[in-house]
Structure formats: C-alpha cells, structure tokens
Amino acid sequence: MTDQSRYAKKEEWLTEYGYVLGTPEAEKIWAEKVELDENVYHGRIQQHPGLILDIQPWEAYESPASGRVITSKAQRREDMKRTNTRQYEGREQEEKEVKRQHAYQESALDSKMTDTIGNRLRDLSPSQRAKLNKELGA
C-alpha cells in the first residue's frame, strides 16, 4: 500500500467516525487502530467472531440505570455491574432470565426454610421432641 492510499484510508476512517483530521485525538486513535490492525495481521491478537475490543469510537450515551455518561465499553460493563443490570437481549431472553431469577429465589428461600426448621428442631428439649414425634406419628 502506498503512502498516498494509506493516508486516504486514514482520512476516510477518521472522518467516518467523526474525528477532526490533524488533531492530537485523531492522531492518537489512528495510531491505536494501526497498532491493533498490525497485531491482528501478525497473529499477536487472534481474531474471534465474538471478540469485542474496548476501542473507540464509541457513541456516548446516558445510562438509564445510573444517569452517568457512558463513553466506552469498559465504562458500560462497570456501570451495569454497579447498578446490577444487564444488556437487553429481547423479550424471549428476558422471560428466560425472569424464570431463572425466580427459580434462584425459590431455591434460596427453600434453603433458608430448611436451615430454620433444622435449627428449631435442634433447639427443642427432649420432652418437646418426644411430644412432636408423637403428634407427627413418628
């Protein structure tokens, strides 16, 4: 690739993502992109279909959960962790998550109930245990 065509790609890419050519910010992001491209090309970073890197550009938005401005994927992950939220994945997935959460809560409640009953039975005096066994027919 010639220097002229490389510059044309740089100009096109930076313009597409809203950077002002010649600014320190644009030069920094371009250098990061070139380094990433070279690392992928030389096999230092393997490309995987599900791999999502924390590189700009990232369209900033206000988090509905915290009200903070999110400017990177790392900030987004941290915000979701801090607010105990997760990415919306569609109605079907949301319904599955609700069922999973209900099952988890039910299991936790069952466990607490079992522990409480066990503790209460253990705390009974021998005469109270005998009376309970008689009432239960054991």
pTM listed for this prediction:
0.39
CA distance linking residue 17 with residue 129, whole number of Å: 75
pLDDT digits (tens, 9 = 90+) for 113-132: 999 999 998 999 999 989 98
pLDDT digits (tens, 9 = 90+) for 10-26: 888 888 888 888 899 88
pLDDT, residue 100, reads: 93
DSSP-assigned states of every residue in 9-49: HHHHHHHHTTPPTTSHHHHHHHHHHHHHHHHHHTTSS---T
State percent of the chain over pLDDT 90. Answer: 29
Say how far residue 103 (Cα) sits from the centre of its chain: 21
Q: Please state the domain extents for the chain.
A: 1-56, 57-87, 91-136
Q: Go through 37-61 and write b for each residue having 16 or more CB atoms within 10 A of its CB, e for each that does not.
A: eeeeeeeeeeeeeeeeeeeeeeeee
CA distance linking residue 108 with residue 102, whole number of Å: 10
Cα dihedral 53, 58, 60, 64 sign = negative
